[in-house]
Structure 1
Amino acid sequence: MAGPRTAQRGVKKRPSGPPSGPRTQVRWPRWLRTPVRTPRRRLALVLVLVVLFGGFGAWALYGSDWFRVRQVKAAGTRVLTPDEVVAAARAPVDAPLVSVDTDEMAGRLRAALPRIKAVEVVRSWPHTIVLKVVERTPELAMRSGGKYSEVDDEGVRFATVRTLPKGVPLLEMAVSDSPSLHRFGIDRLRRAATDVVGRLPEAVHKDVRRVRVASYDSVTLKLTGGRTVVWGSREQGAEKAKVLVALLKAARGAHHFDVAVPSAPAASGS
């Protein structure tokens, strides 16, 4: 009689797990099955990717509607209005933002609006151009017919206004017969006048009503209260300003002050 062991020997043991069947093989494209083994193949693949991405980037910047000029803004204006600045810029609306010539636009603004001293044209992605302007500030004003020409701290005449700006001294250029006009030129003489006024401390500057230039070495200030200051040339301006402040305090009743030679100042009653 066969025991359990004998019976078990006759039983064919089935393998565990799912039944085996025909295997399905995935056929990958040959270029994916071929390993990139050589440096040349790696380089070729990199170049293909670079060309693809570069082409897409160029299309996105120049050919698509994603990065085109839709809006132009102006910032930093005080006397000028933002609309004036935007109109003078003549920005190429609907053009690719990357293609905008910012230097050309800045030059166009300075030429059209002399009040602009400096301007920065900034691309603000994805659709905006920002015009950041710095306006000239009048240091002096010159009478021109029935109006006034504003002069900034660089001696540049940049705008004509109907009335004398408040707190801005009047500049008189009495140099028609002066040799200085031929030697230095009118622009440099104007700069000498603005340099003199720019050296004055606020306590004196607010009292200046008129600046008269007779030559490069002869600049005279007219202050409130009928006071006159002989300044001389623009040289030693900082030292002259200090001496003038001390002289005005020491000789309060005087009306005529001379600081042309700062080491030997003078004050008199008339």
Structure 2
Amino acid sequence: MAGPTTADRGRRRQGESGPPLPPRRGRLRRLRMLIILLLVAVLASGGVIWLLYGSPWLRVQRISVSGTRVLTPAQVREAAGVRLGTPLISLDTDVIGARLRRKLPRLDAVDVVRSWPHGIGLNVTERTPVLLIRNGAKFDEVDREGVRFATVAQAPKGVPALELAPPPSAGPRRFGTDRLVREAVRVAQAVPAAVARDTRTVKVRTYDSISLELGDGRDVLWGSGEKGRAKAVTLTALMKAAPHARHFDVSVPTAPASSGS
């Protein structure tokens, strides 16, 4: 009896899988699958792009503002320059923040955030005046960094005036006005809270000769802005020890003095 032929043995090894596909048909099937996957990816990407940039759903419909004290929300919105209907994805938050700080010097910090799907938030922090410099009939506000950030018609309550009164041989020509202003700010921030509430004027003669004029006529020679914490502690103790004194000197905190009654 004749044994199985070579073709019969090949069919047994293949089982039910049938004959192998011709190499060309296998390549065509893989190519078709690749094309389909590419089409799906293109359509999905196009849909996402249209959703973000072309659809009417993810666009700016409201602009919220928080943190204002002197400025109004309307002023902040106008300075931000964000147009309603703009796609949220196209907004450059860094550019908006820089624009706000440029147009509104009163702003110390700005945080611009997208609020999906329809809003944008402008969270701002305004500068706080530490001193006032008279500018004609108005006042320049100076913040904790010595920056003159705004001019106002009325002096804010509780903010001392800065008086630059250097002698002809010193002062701005030697140190520069900006440096003297920063030193005065440094002193104003170091003064004890109880004294700060009563301070009416911070007077600068030279870099190391700064004094405070209080509302009840008393005065304090502070000196320079150095050793501010030690001077604050010394002044508090000195005022308690000499409650009727009119003049206090803490320019050298280890050797304070008081006089007058």
Partner of 1:232: 223
Is 1:263 aligned to residue 254 of structure 2?
yes
In the superposition, relative to structure 1, how do residues 81 and 178 fare at CA in structure 2: closer, same or farther (>3 Å)?
farther
| 8 Å contact kept, 1:141–1:148 | yes
In structure 2, the residue matched to 1:242 is 233
**Do the aligned partners of residues 178 and 152 (structure 1) sit closer, same or farther apart at CA in structure 2, a change above 3 Å counting?**
farther
CA contact (8 A) 1:92 1:100 kept: no
Of 140, 145, 170 in structure 1, the residue corresponding to residue 161 of structure 2 is 170
Q: Out of 248, 254, 258, which is 2:245 matched to?
A: 254
AA at the equivalent of 1:167: G
Residue 211 of structure 1: which of 187, 202, 206 is its match?
202
Unpaired runs of 5+ residues, structure 2, are 1-25
> Does residue 110 of structure 1 match 2:135?
no
Structure 1 match to 2:66? 75
Q: 1:140 to 1:49 in 2, by over 3 A?
A: same
Question: Match of 1:100?
Answer: 91
Alignment identity in percent?
A: 54
Task: Count how many residue pairs are aligned between Structure 1 and Structure 2.
Answer: 236
CA distance 1:178–1:172, shift in 2 (3 Å): farther
1:255–1:267 Cα contact (<8 Å) kept? yes
Return closer, same or farther for 1:60/1:178 CA change in 2, 3 Å cut-off: farther
Q: 1:259 to 1:60 in 2, by over 3 A?
A: same
- Equivalent AA in structure 2 for residue 145 of structure 1: G
The amino acid of 1:228's aligned partner reads: D
1:13-28 equivalence runs, <5 A: none
Is structure 2 residue 59 aligned with structure 1 residue 60?
A: no
SS in structure 2 of the partner of residue 166 of structure 1? coil
Structure 2 CA distance, aligned partners of 1:51 and 1:64?
18
TM-score (structure 1 length as normaliser): 0.79
How far off is 1:51 after superposition?
A: 3.6
Deviation for aligned residue 1:178? 5.3
Corresponding residue of 1:150: 141
Letter in 1 for 2:119: T
Query: In 1, distance between residues paired with 2:153 and 2:253?
Result: 38
SS at match of 2:216: helix
**Match in the other structure for 2:116:** 125
Q: Show the counterpart of 1:24.
A: none
Please name the residue that 1:194 is paired with: 185
CA contact (8 A) 1:67 1:127 kept: yes
Letter in structure 2 aligned against 1:269: G
Matched, 1:141 2:132: yes
- 1:104 & 1:234 partners in 2: Cα distance? 37
Structure 1 residue 219, shift from structure 2 partner: 0.9
Q: How far apart in 2 are the matches of 1:244 and 1:43?
A: 82
| Pair 184,101 (structure 1): closer, same or farther in 2 beyond 3 Å | farther
Q: Secondary structure at the match of 1:110?
A: helix
The superposition leaves residues 84-116 of structure 1 with CA deviations (integer Å, 9 ceiling, x where unpaired) of: 111111113322111111111111111211111
Query: What SS does structure 2 have at the residue aligned with 1:211?
Result: strand
Q: Which has the larger radius of gyration?
A: 1
